[in-house]
Amino acid sequence: MDFGLFMAFIAYSTFILAVGVWGYRKKSFESYAVADRTMGLGLATSAFVATFLSAVTIIGVSGYASVNGWSAAAFTCYGYSLGWILLLVASGRLHKVRLTTVPECLGVRYESTGLRAFSALTIIALYSITLVVQLLAIGITMNTLIGLGTTVSIVTVGVVFVSYTMLGGLASVLRTDLVQASLLASGVLLAAGMVLWKTGGTVVTAPGAHLGGFFGGSVSTTSDFVGWMLVWGLGIPTQSYYLHRFYASRNVHVARGQIAFGAIFVMVILLSVILVGTGAAMLVPENELGDGAFPYLVKNVIGGWASFPILLAITAAIHSTTDGLLHIVGLYFALDVFQPLRPDTNAKALLRVSRKATLIFGTMVTAVAAYVSTHPVPLISLIAAVAWGGMASTLFAPLFFGLFWKGATRQGALASAIGGLTFSTIAFFLNRAGLSTLHEIYPGIIASLTLMVLVSLGTSRNSEATLARFFPESVRA
């Protein structure tokens, strides 16, 4: 075991826990849930960058690139860009309605507690997949770089991120994200520079025919390209850990600015990650390619002092997303599942429920990840895509039609959410059984959009009071 890197990880984890203890001193539910709605542009931008650059990006995309080369750009960059544009479009309206959660937004817009609970439970279920992926990534990383067992690594990290998220809530998450964004950027850019040096620049200029093509891996046709673009492009603007930050923003300019500025930083780091992964394909043994390629490259090819900041970058990537995910799960359970059943619950009791839900769910996910780590798994970027595609098929149409079309109705939203999830799930299993080659996002999105429009046109609109809240410009007109 590399004792120096292990002690660096312990020091970093101690700092994270200390921030959680600091956040615990803030007793208000508003602070725990939305950081008192005082988030400024600098903090918001760093939080967006840190949250977006998850294990799926650092470990998953580099692992995908180590196998498929620069075609990883077709797999991710275009869809991510579409998602950022749609986030930017939605940011102003979500901030102005002054709510606390995305399921609450859907419940209020469509005057439906059923849709609110359904969307909250769907988010919790799909986020469980994403959280398992994040923990698997840190297990792979620490096993390769430090020599600590994968399962032990997962449990150790699970204890840390569950503890500080449960204690501090969003107020603590935002502060740690500021540090993590800095660690992420410096570590990944350092790794990219080292790969350019080690390959003499050929990773960009002459990576080899099998690594330099636009198509490759899961993007072998134009249909695949469009399918993955829809998975990420429609999945990103339905991810609650991005949308939730709009509620916490100080004003609408902060809500929009964090995406506009943050997306530029993320794209630079994303391309650097793809460069590192493609470089790994040129520098490490073939049997080490995949999700373990980046950590292996750092330890056995780069080595030396550079492995320390890169380890912190990878660790920061996992922490910065897992804490946001786990905070969302606990908060949404308290506000969107528990509170509608117990409407007389006060803020202090809701805070306790949210913290308990965070602890229980975090413990369960850590246990599942520890178990899964003992079995062979596919590339983690492909596992995460299941959750993103499911989110897009279920929530994109109800959310965006609700924000931009007055004619969207409760019945249409329910039909869209349930139909989209059902069709995408069926298509997913048909694909895995070899009975279909069509990407599952197509039937999911087509069903969701079609049901949203047709059912809404055949049913009555929501009350004028609700429409006035979401479309104040029509009232002024």
Mean pLDDT of the 234-248 span: 81
For position 378, what pLDDT does the model report? 62
What's the CA gap between 190 and 206, in Å, rounded? Answer: 21
Whether 477 shows a pLDDT value over 60: the answer reads no
The predicted-structure confidence for 321-333, as pLDDT tens digits, reads as follows: 777 777 788 888 8
Whether 458 shows a pLDDT value over 90: the answer reads yes
Categorize the per-residue pLDDT at 39 as very low, low, confident or very high, splitting at 50, 70 and 90. confident
For position 134, what pLDDT does the model report? 78
What's the CA gap between 399 and 151, in Å, rounded? Answer: 38
The predicted-structure confidence for 58-104, as pLDDT tens digits, reads as follows: 888 898 999 999 999 999 999 999 999 999 998 888 888 877 788 88
Whether 296 shows a pLDDT value over 90: the answer reads no
Whether 49 shows a pLDDT value over 90: the answer reads no
Question: Which of 187-196, 244-253, 409-418 shows the lowest mean pLDDT across its residues?
Answer: 244-253
Query: What token pair was written down for 118?
Result: 């359904």
Question: 3-state class of 25 per DSSP?
Answer: coil
**Prediction pTM value:** 0.81
Whether 457 shows a pLDDT value over 90: the answer reads yes
For position 475, what pLDDT does the model report? 54
The predicted-structure confidence for 299-315, as pLDDT tens digits, reads as follows: 888 877 777 787 777 77
User: Considering the chain, what is the average pLDDT of its residues?
Assistant: 83
Gyration radius of the chain's alpha carbons: 22
For position 168, what pLDDT does the model report? 61
Total residue count of the chain as it appears in this document: 477
Distances (CA, A) of 224 to 133, 209, 232, 270: 23, 20, 12, 20
Whether 34 shows a pLDDT value over 90: the answer reads no
Q: What percent of the chain has pLDDT over 70?
A: 89
What's the CA gap between 428 and 442, in Å, rounded? Answer: 10
For position 22, what pLDDT does the model report? 61
Mean pLDDT of the 183-189 span: 86
